[in-house]
Amino acid sequence: MCGITGIFHFDPSRAVNEVLLKKMTDTLFHRGPDGEGYYGKNHIGLGHRRLTIIDLTTGDQPMFNEDKSIAVIFNGEIYNYIELRDELKKLGCKFHTNSDTEVIIRSYETWGTDCQNKLNGMWAMALWDERKNQLFISRDRIGEKPLFYTVYDGTFLFGSEIKSILAYGCPRVPNLELTELYLSLGYIPAPYTFYKNISKLQAGHYLIVSQNSVQEKKYWDMPEIDEENMTSNKKQVYETFENLLKDSVRIRMRSDVPYGAFLSGGLDSAGIVFLMSEISKEPVRTFTIGSKEKMFDERKLAAQVAEKFKTDHHEYMIEQDGFDEAMQKITHHFDEPFGDSSALPTGAVSKIAAQKVKMVLTGDGGDEVLSGYNSNLVEKFVEQYQYAPFFLRKGMPGMVNSAANLFSGGSRYKLKQVAKALSFSNETFGNRLMAKSWCRPALAKELMLHPEKQIKLSDFISDFFSKYPIKHPFYQLMFFQFKVLLPDDFLAKVDRMSMASSLETRVPFLDYRLVEYMARVHRDVKMEGYERKSVLRNTIGKRLPPALLRAPKKGFSIPLREWFKDKAFEPKLQSLYNSDFGLDQKVIRQITEDNNSGKEDFGNLIWMLFVLKRWMDDSQ
């Protein structure tokens, strides 16, 4: 795991400024505190920060082939590098290190850019081919590792984080037309960033940068599915799923340094810890984050897993007192507005884990692979609800909403969520998807001072599904989760907050073999009736503590709704009302009042407004 950055002048006579290259690389110190390396020749410059995980003594980067006509810098891990090295040796390749980085070089020499299809791992890499006078830049299939780029002043610039590009001197020009998308989704979807002229390389894509052009191409996408002929043999699915997940965990435990696992009270991380404990000869180190709010605290369930599998267990509590410090950390490490508040506990658990290990496995991706979100359950429900008489469907939302007003706190919130889901049961899937946004379209229109200048969520969603003409809402949601939500929110969150503490995270559920196979599994196998994660429950789940199988789903989140009701936050809320960042201050005040009165849960939306304000202040 590392940080990479680089400079490519389109004018071959223009030499790279080594001082600037080092300045760009230094911004990524936290991603690789164990070492640095540079390559500079004429108009090309590559910078690398290293976090040592595999091949501690001979894996330094940039790494070269024998005549130095190829130079590569690489952020990530290639998990099947041992198998690939054996295959390449049989083809006549010679190796001088035990590094997965050298496997990339030999793979490129053998297969060219098609080498991407041979790799099983997570990566963002840049390979300079001197003979072709071109830069080959690739990002992994699912988007675990980030890569940003721009063309500025006759120069192509790239980096693992936006801050490395800004260090070159690229201007900080906010892309304010993305404000509605940010407040709706909670993040900035690729290929956009919140800076004009700076882009995210999309997952499964690569760039060829030459003297005359920057070409972006796709090498991988979600598999095409036949909605009328999905895999429905349960026995076959269970067996294949378990075998693929076991192998995914096995190859992700390859490491030359101490490692562990993030452990929540959920099935996904518990399943990973179980499989690790079967493979490891020593107790698995596990790390859990807790909260004083019982609704968000999973320490008891995590402790049961730790006890059952005899792990070396560590707990940590997240406190409200760290709000200002957390805000500063998030705006610094994401470089653009990022509104997923679960970045806070992710950062906290990463910090304690990094004191004990250099790498962890996580349960991320399980909900996407297994269609385990509540939103997946809603789509299953809507499919059945359509058969109810129209008068019942029309009147039910109002009845549930009225009932919600008889309660308070979490019960009221849950019932209002049910009423909202019912009210959208007759809508199109696109409308239901927008209804799940943090800032619903009608509220966004009120909030924006100039809504006509915004890229609308509805247009973004329409454009997305024009590329994936899938018919059934259950599978439409699956594709949206994999192509947008996962890479741009959840994986971005885990990458930035773990790397902030120089900790590598590996995600067994996102092995591309598992992703491709499960994408073709029928919805009724993934979710028997309304049982979430039926495939996991009927395989790995049978070895887990029974309490986990009975527990309701909890997100990895914090009680923001309650935090902002605290009088201690009133001065901070006043700062929102008095800020000028393109939003209607009266609407902001109404949002906070509705949250604090219990009328709505706007906790995460208020958090997102704080993040946006902080980012705008820092960008002045």
Helix axis angle, 603-618 to 570-577, nearest 10°: 60
Helix axis angle, 603-618 to 323-334, nearest 10°: 60
**Cα–Cα distance for residue pair 125/104, rounded to 1 Å:** 9
**Cα–Cα distance for residue pair 419/402, rounded to 1 Å:** 9
**Cα–Cα distance for residue pair 59/191, rounded to 1 Å:** 31
From residue 128, give the alpha-carbon distance in Å to each of 89, 109, 264, 373, 619.
Answer: 23, 12, 41, 41, 33
The two beta strands, 155-159 and 148-152, are antiparallel
Return the SS3 of 157. Answer: strand
In 3D, which of 430, 421, 408 has the Cα closest to residue 378? 421
Evaluate whether 184 touches 439 at the Cβ level (below 8 Å).
Answer: yes
Q: What angle do CA 269, 270, 276 make, to 5 degrees?
A: 90
Return the SS3 of 456. Answer: coil
Tokens of 602: 């706007």
CB within 8 A of 191, min separation 6: which ones? 199, 200, 201, 202
Active site residue 2: yes
In 3D, which of 175, 451, 163 has the Cα closest to residue 334? 163
List 506's β-bridge partners, or say none.
361
- Residue identified by tokens 């995914």 is 248
In 3D, which of 617, 618, 608 has the Cα closest to residue 447? 608
- Residue identified by tokens 């707990």 is 315
What DSSP string describes 280-330?
Answer: -SSPPEEEEEE-SSGGG--HHHHHHHHHHTT-EEEEEE--GGGHHHHHHHH
The two beta strands, 44-50 and 2-9, are antiparallel
- What phi, psi does 3 have (nearest 5°)? -125, 135
From residue 247, give the alpha-carbon distance in Å to each of 241, 276, 279, 536.
Answer: 10, 11, 11, 15
Q: Which of 2, 115, 170, 439 is catalytic?
A: 2
- Burial annotation 528-541 (CB, 10 A radius, 16+ → b, else e): eeeebbbbbbbbbb
Give the residue numbers annotated as catalytic, written as ranges: 2
